Amino acid sequence: MDSTTNGTRTMTYIEAITDGLRTEMRRDPDVLVMGEDIGGDFGGAFKATQGLEAEFGARRVMNTPMTELAFIGAATGMGLMGLRPVIEVQFADFISTGFDSIVQYAATTHYRWQAPVPWVIRAPADGGIRSGPFHSQNPEAWFVHTPGLKVVAPATPADAKGLLLAAIRDNNPVIYFESKPLYRSLRGEVPEGDRATPIGRARIAREGHHVTVITYGEMVRQALLAADGLAPEITVEVIDLRTLKPLDRDTVTASVRKTGRAVVVHAANRLAGVGAEIAADLGQTSFEYLDAPICRVGGLDVPVPFSPPLEDAYRPGAGDITAAIRETVAY
Amino acid sequence: MDSTTNGTRTMTYIEAITDGLRTEMRRDPDVLVMGEDIGGDFGGAFKATQGLEAEFGARRVMNTPMTELAFIGAATGMGLMGLRPVIEVQFADFISTGFDSIVQYAATTHYRWQAPVPWVIRAPADGGIRSGPFHSQNPEAWFVHTPGLKVVAPATPADAKGLLLAAIRDNNPVIYFESKPLYRSLRGEVPEGDRATPIGRARIAREGHHVTVITYGEMVRQALLAADGLAPEITVEVIDLRTLKPLDRDTVTASVRKTGRAVVVHAANRLAGVGAEIAADLGQTSFEYLDAPICRVGGLDVPVPFSPPLEDAYRPGAGDITAAIRETVAY
Amino acid sequence: MTLLPDDLNVDLHYWMRLTRTMDDQLVNLWKQGRGVGTTFNQRGHEAISVGAGMALAPDDVVAPMHRDLGCYLVRGMTPRRLMANQLGRATGVTRGRDSNLHGCGDLSLNLIGFISHLPQSMPVALGAAMSFSYCSEPRVALTFVGDGSSCAGVFHESLNLAAVQRAPFVVVIENNQYAYSTPLHQQMAIDDLAVRASGHGVESRTVDGNDVEEVYRSVKAAVGKARDGGGPTLIEARTMRMLGHAIHDGAEYVPQELLDDWSARDPLLLHEEKLTSRGLVDHEYLARVAEKCREIVDDAVEFAESSEWPDPGTVSDGVYAA
Amino acid sequence: MTLLPDDLNVDLHYWMRLTRTMDDQLVNLWKQGRGVGTTFNQRGHEAISVGAGMALAPDDVVAPMHRDLGCYLVRGMTPRRLMANQLGRATGVTRGRDSNLHGCGDLSLNLIGFISHLPQSMPVALGAAMSFSYCSEPRVALTFVGDGSSCAGVFHESLNLAAVQRAPFVVVIENNQYAYSTPLHQQMAIDDLAVRASGHGVESRTVDGNDVEEVYRSVKAAVGKARDGGGPTLIEARTMRMLGHAIHDGAEYVPQELLDDWSARDPLLLHEEKLTSRGLVDHEYLARVAEKCREIVDDAVEFAESSEWPDPGTVSDGVYAA
Ligand SMILES: Cc1ncc(C[n+]2csc(CCOP(=O)(O)OP(=O)(O)O)c2C)c(N)n1
Ligand SMILES: Cc1ncc(C[n+]2csc(CCOP(=O)(O)OP(=O)(O)O)c2C)c(N)n1
Ligand SMILES: [Mg+2]
Ligand SMILES: [Mg+2]
């Protein structure tokens, strides 16, 4: 962290996460963090919780055994009793180990007996960093399809903090997908103090007229790179969804109605991914406005492969987005 | 089971499942069935395995403890050793309890180290029968999104048998979603002996010219009902997908290019469901052919509610399909 | 073993009788085609659900399961709300959202609702216990699981986490000899389910689940220990599921001798015999209580059957908390 | 306790030395920036992975885990294929699909590959054992798990199912005192991990995981029992993870005294001392073996580094079996 300029500080994406945790833990004694290896000086596999035990004590920074079902379920019980646990699963890939606790118990509780379950799961997701099939996944579609959850996916340090604040304050189970490739490679201005980014509102990351790119997480950076390369010839509007459930359909629809063209991008497997929902919805609601087919860009229908040439072939990037935009605009 | 007519017999949907199991167990000594309560005279929560232990013995009809992770994982190990286990999860809803075994282990094994995992999970799915949020789910989208699995969903007794045969003979992990409301309410002609329905090929359940309805499972029956009601004014082509992964995009695309209009229907939650993939794909590949927006009909973004008026409001039926068709055709 | 106070024994009897009456009525309703969906049979489980429920203090939290009708009643969930839930009415605990006893939680009664996926309530109840430690509150959380559920991974994960956290947590196994149609020996290679605790460093004991006094006493002791910072306890209560798994299940797979053995030890009748033989109550009293329970249950049925169905327009309400 | 045959002890030494040499070389490669992704440290685990691997018959099946490099080697996976896998090459076991030791299965070697989700190999290996019963084959399946994994639900589900099936199945817990950064006392409330078996009716014992003879003998006995229809066994082998969890982890959280204690009992050096003190081999021999292992490993590195990268055009190949 460095330079303070009128109420903001330059931080990396992961520093912003830690700052968000610290902000909420200072503000609200009911907020605690729990997960594998998050305590002590160690501070988690990615160090996102480093320093928290020193400041807040072991009671509020709880190292758990490697038992995702038990500790996510326990977080649900704590939430029911009024606490606000923030769970770290070590990698987003391991969220499937606690699946029942999430999609069956926590997701349905308020609908069934009106009891709020105010937890957050922080899930370090995403690939591109040579971590292989089990440390590179983007499993958000499973949760977007499941009724009763909220899902967020910050693309910037400011939102990494802002969405975390909002998620912790939300009275529902929120899954917060972090993008590992952004952790230390993306820096940005982050508001100090407690400025939350509201859940459910997308952001126009860049204005443009010829085509709208709708995306989230690390792919926002890739889309902006693509847009840079295409300007001024083609001006690209980039929408950073920020929240995947509930989707901000209004912002997306307004932009696509303006540009008449859409490219939907995510790093997750393209097949039956969140992008399919967005494209299908636009196709239905904005049929008359579309000047070209909506193009989807995403991961292949393949486990994320380890070896660099394979992972690069699997994973979309600025080049694929550029090609999709060109094709869509040329249509 | 009754009346044999040239090589077919009239059976209910669930009788066809039992017939399929029996056919394969007779044909191949490596086929076994396993799951909770499936053995003995009891024969499973829905009696699909009744009579199998008497014929094949307890070695091939294995009652398991209520431990989905362990017995699905064990089936993977048996499959690796060359057996062909057919697992029954008691309700499709409990498939989430064995999630890691399926989506992480079995789904990725062949890609990673070229070892085939030839099991089938039979998952009694679907609602409309007042069974509440945990005995009514249609969780296929989770698995269609996951690389490495195959997913089938028969709509008729003939396919209930034929797809089961194909699934058991397939060298990959196949999830076979049965529709509980069809079990005893749908009868049809079923070929005797071992006529498999190939995985990956859809079926034109009814020909028509004005609009294509793309669906699967119990919604095929609902779509046919809707089509009956609309004929002869509107002729509806109904596609029974049969397989959800891999999707038969060719059949779907050809039909929609012919009719120019599509309605995609499933009982599963509409949001980010399999229908979104189909609609998004058609929107991209058949943009020029579409005379109307593709309409999606599906369950609400709500856990399946128990009480009849709520479940009816949640769940699509012939009426909703009729309305969607009318709207699409009138566009 | 010292006897329980007389008043308490009389109370225990009342709740067991009410549970039995309501359960019998549920069976009737379903036989008469007045049910909606399914209903779980309670017969045989009354001493466990009532005895454990009564051993808790009002501030304690409990997550009862599908054979714990008695516990819901003891903890203040009214027969009206429960019956209306069974019949899918707007006045039911879940306003028609969830079925039979599923989801019958109410935080104002310190009751946590369950889901079908067994035993997913266990870590949730543990989390409640952990929150009491977090907040330094002298409260305890309790939940029930079946013999079948004691095979499941999350049962073991929860016991392990409870032990390492020394959480004020009590788990009661209702060992009713079967998981649906599957007898114990097809589920596990142990005879004594209390040993499930030993691999996690949790104390445990086995009690007669048809003796409500014994259940009460052992749970009370475990709750007291937990409240005093002594950590979790597992109690195996042995009983027999006297009817099918749920209403549609004729349970033909259960040997008749087994049922005969256990029916001689019906938990409600055993307790009634105790009360009369100790001279605490007479047969007339028992008849009066039975009558009163019938009235309460009849009232609940009438309430439920005359309650409104949920408005389909509200189907999407309440998925999220505000 | 009787000594193992001399030849066997010499073999055990060879495989441990090869494992150590390869592990040291992996550490070097990564320090020099020649690695791809991450690599798991093996130091401290050699006696367990080698001893258990050697105790199996050729037809037996094993699912080694992330600290069982020794077992892969013993079972015939070549250093070349393993090294190429670590470096993501087309010639690696997974043809670049999976990382480090993940997915290093090969049915022709009776090796089952693992996934990260721990310990999901356990029911899979159990399933192999169950298939041997199904086919009446006199074969056994074995897998390893960590102390951390012994907390996980699927570990318990698998032991329970193994017990009820009386499967020819052996599980070795590698208790290395830590799960990543988390010491035992934050993971569990027990001291003796062999008790994990008792809640499932599975026999178990604890052995010195740094004494390759003891590991071999106990696994051999368990495998023999399983082959004779005696059912599953759990063996806790105690050791210490002498380096970080994986290459990037400096393990500053481990107290230096703990490392000092254990480094005095290095499994490889202990065994070398045994061999020389028993007069089986001399120092010159040990030097020759070390030299030979270095050559093998250098060859593997050269092979791997000069191997082709996978062709990106093949990225979608092999998701499905034909
Ligand atoms: C994870 C899971 N799998 C399957 C089921 C289906 N099921 C419902 S109750 C039951 C048996 C439960 O047995 P037990 O735990 O002994 O409780 P009991 O019903 O005997 O009280 C089963 C298999 C379930 N509820 N949850
Ligand atoms: C289900 C699951 N959650 C989290 C992880 C992340 N993780 C990888 S190794 C590890 C520690 C494992 O400890 P242990 O089982 O003792 O094995 P060791 O690494 O010490 O040999 C953790 C938490 C994982 N692999 N699987
Ligand atoms: Mg039971
Ligand atoms: Mg360990």
**Residues C70-85: tens digit of each pLDDT:** 999 999 999 999 999 9
Q: Is residue A196 part of a domain?
A: no
> CA torsion D154→D155→D157→D160, rounded to 10°?
170
Work out the percent of chain C whose per-residue pLDDT is above 90.
Answer: 99
Residue D271: pLDDT band with limits 50, 70, 90: very high
> Which residue in chain A is spatially nearest to C160 when comparing CA positions?
A65
Closest by Cα among A25, A22, A6 to A14: A22
* Closest by Cα among D59, B127, D146, B227 to A65: D146
If one residue of D45, D69, D118, D262 were mutated to test the ligand 2 pocket, choosing by the most ligand atoms within 8 A of its CB, it would be: D118
Q: What domain range includes position A31? A: 4-191
SS (H, E, C) chain B: CEEEECCEEEEEHHHHHHHHHHHHHHHCCCEEEEECCCCCCCCCCCCCCCCHHHHHCCCCEEECCCCHHHHHHHHHHHHHCCCEEEEECCCHHHHHHHHHHHHHHHHHHHHHHCCCCCCEEEEEECCCCCCCCCCCCCCHHHHHCCCCCEEECCCCHHHHHHHHHHHHHCCCCEEEEEEHHHCCCCEEEEECCCCCCCCCCCEEEECCCCEEEEECCHHHHHHHHHHHHHCCCCCEEEEECCEEECCCHHHHHHHHHHHCCEEEEEEEECCCCHHHHHHHHHHHHCHHHCCCCCEEEEECCCCCCCCHHHHHHHCCCHHHHHHHHHHHHHC
* Per-residue confidence (pLDDT) for residue B3, from 0 to 100: 47
Cα–ligand 2 centroid distance for D148 (angstroms): 6
Mean of pLDDT over chain D:
97
Position B316 scores a pLDDT of 98
pTM exceeds 0.95 for this model: yes
A174 and A99 housed in the same domain? yes
CB contact under 8 A, B290 and A295: no
Arithmetic mean of pLDDT, C228-256: 98
Q: Summarize pLDDT for B272-292 with one digit per residue, the tens.
A: 999 999 999 999 999 999 999
A168 and A235 in a single domain? The answer is no
**Cα distance from C157 to chain D (closest Cα, Å)?**
5
Q: What is the pLDDT of residues D75-106, one digit of tens each?
A: 999 999 999 999 999 999 999 999 999 999 99
- Asked if residue A297 lies in contact with residue A328, where contact means CB atoms within 8 angstroms, the answer is no
- Do B186 and B291 share a structural domain? no
At A5 the pLDDT is 57
Among A2-11, B160-169, C90-99, D24-33, the minimum mean pLDDT is found in A2-11
What single-letter DSSP state applies at residue D148?
G
- If pLDDT is split at 50, 70 and 90, which confidence band does B5 have? low
pLDDT of residue A194: 85
pLDDT at A1: 46
Read off the tokens for A198. 């509201």
Quick check: is B196 in a domain? no
Contact A301 D316 (CB under 8 A): yes
What region, left, alpha or beta, does residue B44 occupy, with left being phi > 0 and alpha being psi -120 to 50 degrees? Answer: left
Rounded to 5 degrees, φ, ψ at B163 are -75, -30
Q: Is residue B198 part of a domain?
A: no
Residue A3 has what pLDDT? 47
Average pLDDT for residues A193-199, to the nearest whole number?
A: 93
Residues A47 and A161 in one domain: yes
Q: Specify the number of domains making up chain B.
A: 2
3-class DSSP state for residue D111?
strand
* Closest by Cβ to B67, choosing from D103, D117, D161: D161
CATH no. for residue A73? 3.40.50.970
Q: Are B22 and B154 part of one and the same domain?
A: yes
Q: Which residues make beta-bridge pairs with D183?
A: D178
Q: Which two three-digit tokens encode residue A331?
A: 């249509």
Mean pLDDT over residues B214-231, rounded? 98
CATH assignment at residue B320: 3.40.50.920
Of C104, C127, C153, the CB nearest to A76: C127
Are residues A220 and A180 part of one domain?
no
Give residue ranges with CB within 6 A of ligand 2. A 36, 66, 68, 90, 94, 97; D 67, 116-118, 146-149, 174, 176, 178-180, 241, 245
B42 and B113 part of one domain: yes
Q: Measured between alpha carbons, how far is residue A161 from residues A158, A202, A238, B256 in Å?
A: 5, 15, 21, 46
Residue D190 φ/ψ region, left for φ over 0, alpha for ψ in the -120 to 50 degree band, beta for the rest: beta
C252 near B CB under 8 A = yes
Indicate the pairing of strand A174-179 with strand A187-191.
unpaired
pLDDT score of A34 more than 90: yes
Per-residue pLDDT, D1: 57
Domain edges within chain C: 6-179+193-241+254-308
Residue D3: pLDDT band with limits 50, 70, 90: confident
Subunits in contact with chain A (3 or more CB pairs closer than 8 Å): B, C, D
Nearest to A307 among D88, D153, D253 (CB): D88
Residues B142 and B290 both lie in one domain? no
**What CATH number has the domain spanning C6-179+193-241+254-308?**
3.40.50.970
* Domain stops at, among A142, A165, A191: A191
Give backbone dihedrals phi and psi of A200, rounded to 5 degrees, phi first.
100, 5
D173 three-state secondary structure? strand
Residues B246 and B317 reside in one and the same domain: yes
Q: Do residue A66 and residue D187 have CB atoms under 8 angstroms apart?
A: yes
pLDDT in tens, D204-256: 999 999 999 999 999 999 999 999 999 999 999 999 999 999 999 999 999 99
Residues A33 and A114 in one domain: yes
- Statement to judge: residues A142 and A256 lie in one domain: no
Q: Is residue B74 part of a domain?
A: yes
Residues A220 and A181 in one domain: no
Q: Strand C61-63: give its sheet, edge to edge.
A: C61-63, C141-146, C169-175, C233-238, C203-208
Q: Provide the pLDDT for residue D2.
A: 66
**Residue B181 covered by a domain:** yes
| Candidates A135, A209, A210, A266; catalytic one | A135
Report, as an integer, the average pLDDT of B63-72: 98
Calculate how close chain D gets to C183, using CA atoms only, in Å: 12
Cα(first)–Cα(last) distance of chain B, in Å? 45
What are the contacts of A318-323 at 24+ separation with CB within 8 A? A318/A222, A318/A223, A318/A225, A318/A226, A318/A229, A319/A226, A321/A213, A321/A219, A321/A222, A321/A223, A321/A225, A321/A226, A321/A263, A321/A265, A321/A297, A322/A226, A322/A229, A322/A230
φ, ψ (nearest 5 deg) of residue D106: -160, 110
ipTM (interface pTM): 0.98
| Tokens describing residue D283 | 């120092």
Q: Would you give the distance in Å from CA C75 to the centre of its chain?
A: 11
Residue where a domain stops, chosen among A124, A159, A191: A191
Pocket of ligand 1 (CB under 6 A): B 36, 66, 68, 90, 94, 97; C 67, 116-118, 146-149, 174, 176, 178-180, 241, 245
Best B96, B247, B282 member to test A by mutation, with max A CBs in 10 Å, is: B96
For the record, the structure tokens of B212 come out as 């294509």
